[in-house]
A and B are shown apart, each in its own frame.
Chain A
């Protein structure tokens, strides 16, 4: 399978701030790729470099097999972009903007345009200045989704949408996946990424710190287990990969590295399981593990390896 986007060792700084610090990213053709990170991690900067709006200081970037800086206009006919902050021309209607952007990309699917307007419940006759944030975002989404392109680049596209519209958006992305379109979805909404994405890259301070399928990533984390046993548990403390073990009579609570799950289960069933709750790691937990040292204070500057 070829890659729609390949970024390696990308650096970009504004004055003294390092927005991107050796970022690597690979998005395979036909996949929905989640680009996950909090505000200020470098998601939008990466996307702007991919669109040729910014020039990287160092590193290689390839987009749809071309150079996003040099062949910008040519490549842009094959992709559609929804910015995080959508601003419209105050005296153009939403419908006019959708048509304009579509035509500048090389054409709109008329049927899909009408269908999307209906699904997103968007009035195309209102002037740009009268739309709310969510509605401006819908204008950009309709324009992008109705364009006949290979790649969708979406920068926090649901930040202004209500839950109903978020659901419509999810359905639309699901349909895009079935049509084998490539989607790069930047977000900080974990449930959205978890529901939609084939693969995920987590970005932190201008670097991708984790990348893979959700299953791959889960493998790196712990499953939490609550069990009630017939007899008293034994031997658990000696097993590798067990954390936060808490035994009260016949009740056991523990967390286990997913790789060691089998050994733990064997040990538990040796004592006879009467009830069991096992929780797979959530993306949130995964995410927080990468950021937990950012939460209390910003002074920790230790290398990424320590976090892994």
Chain B
């Protein structure tokens, strides 16, 4: 038991540190689930409308690959919540994983764990406490979600199945993060590795779910997110499936503890190798340093965006083949034939890609603050580098980086949709344009981080909060019947829908102008404030 001494203390310390963060996350998830259920239920008062809607969704490979299959087309609960089944599980998994990294590798990297380890602290105490905190968070989140869904009028069994399958996804990725935290030396890399596994899990289930003849449906069973879907909440409630993630978690915990036994505190499994004794000739400006600091993450994101683009384009080319039901055919006619529905799908997906690219922009701009608080900005600003030059180096990485990402995704989707539709020459420029129009909104959100950094550096992570608000407005604004002025607050709502939609220059110019104004103000305020 000596190896676990101090676990309780660390759990209390973690809860003390996260006493605001964790409740906020739980409330966001619970409200999103309940609000989404309520809104959709109000739409489908007629059972026939419900079945029709479910059939249309199941007939659309785009929707199936994005959200998953509806197993019981007459189940009110499942149809109401299918958009949040796999996607919600993904977000809960992200939370579960992040919490573990935050309380293990981050602490170790900062040296704080070393301070504590010198006291009476068992070898496994940090990991155990992180798993307890993360596990308890996702389980409480799941149970409260179940209660809130019951409150919305859905049946008890299904609601608990739904809440617990969310929690199960969180537990699986708490386990994944437990392992990645042992493998890498930096928290950033541990989070990145967890996100890669999570992305792969989501893609695997998308491949399995969208299998047209059912021959590759087993692929979904390779994915922890797939397991959550296979619980089939409100559509049979298969409780036994919940055992799969529990076994998965147990295996990962065993692996992580074995790894802890084999490494030193502070070290990772991947040994750092010696590097060059001299800097490359090109490393002689703040911009060169910023490129060096961002290039690894930009390359990884770029690769992911290329795959995403290719995948999206590929799915789009099959959209017409799945339109079988009468209602769907009618919808296709309204949307302007097969090309119309393909374009509508691609436009929606490019919007999603734009949202994802913004996350890179925010993260890259937040690097400014982490460089400052880690006291790495100070020695640079004590050389011939001016504040404006230093700020510009990271801001350029954020703005150009998002540009590269979105264009890579546009290129990928243009090539793959063009290849299968037989008109690459036409599709590539159309998709590049569809990608390019996302940029002003992305830049505006990135610029919000820049102005916060200049004006109120302690609140800079509020950039994520604003991003979350814009996301919620986009996803739920119309369901919740928010007033139009509120919906208009989100920059993403003003992006022209391309390909296929109408293009107007005005919103693009406006968004760009606001982004530029915010960035310039960020520069001006940063030059006036104290560093540190």
Contacts and interface: CB of A to CB of B under 8 A. Distances in A.
Given A52-B381, A100-B283, 13 more contacts: A53-B381, A54-B531, A55-B528, A76-B381, A76-B384, A76-B385, A85-B375, A95-B276, A101-B380, A125-B274, A127-B272, A127-B274, A129-B272
Interface string A9-30: 0000000000000000000000
Interface string B483-524: 000000000000000000000000000000000000000000
Nearest to A77: B384
A258 B454 CA distance: 55
Contacts of A123: 274
A104 B277 contact: no
20 contacts: A48-B531, A53-B530, A73-B385, A74-B384, A76-B384, A77-B384, A81-B379, A83-B375, A85-B375, A87-B376, A90-B186, A93-B274, A93-B277, A95-B278, A96-B275, A100-B284, A101-B380, A104-B285, A105-B383, A126-B272
Interface in B356-393: 374-376, 378-387, 389
B277 A125 contact: yes
A116 B223 CA distance: 55
Contacts of A96: 275-276, 278-280, 283
Interface in A51-65: 51-55
A198 interface: no
State which size class the interface on A falls in: 35 or more
A100 B380 CA distance: 9
Contacts of A74: 384
B383 A77 contact: yes
A256 to B, nearest CB: 46
Interface residues of B, number: 37
Given A54-B530, A83-B378, A92-B292, A100 B279 contact: yes
Contacts of A48: 378, 531-532
Interface of B: 109, 185-186, 272, 274-280, 283-286, 289, 292-293, 296, 374-376, 378-387, 389, 528, 530-532
Interface of A: 48, 51-55, 72-74, 76-77, 79, 81, 83, 85-93, 95-101, 103-106, 123-127, 129-130, 140, 153
A125 B275 CA distance: 5
Contact of B276 (A88, A93, A104, A130): A93
Given A53-B378, A104-B284, A73 B386 contact: yes
A213 B289 CA distance: 43
Nearest to B389: A73
Contacts of B293: 89, 91
A89 B370 CA distance: 11
A79 B378 CA distance: 14
A127 B275 contact: yes
B257 to A, nearest CB: 24
Contacts of B383: 76-77, 101, 104-105
Nearest to A113: B278
B281 to A, nearest CB: 9
Contact of B284 (A51, A87, A103, A140): A103
A124 B277 contact: yes
Contact of B382 (A51, A54, A89, A93): A51
A73 B391 CA distance: 14
Contacts of A55: 528, 530
Contacts of B389: 73
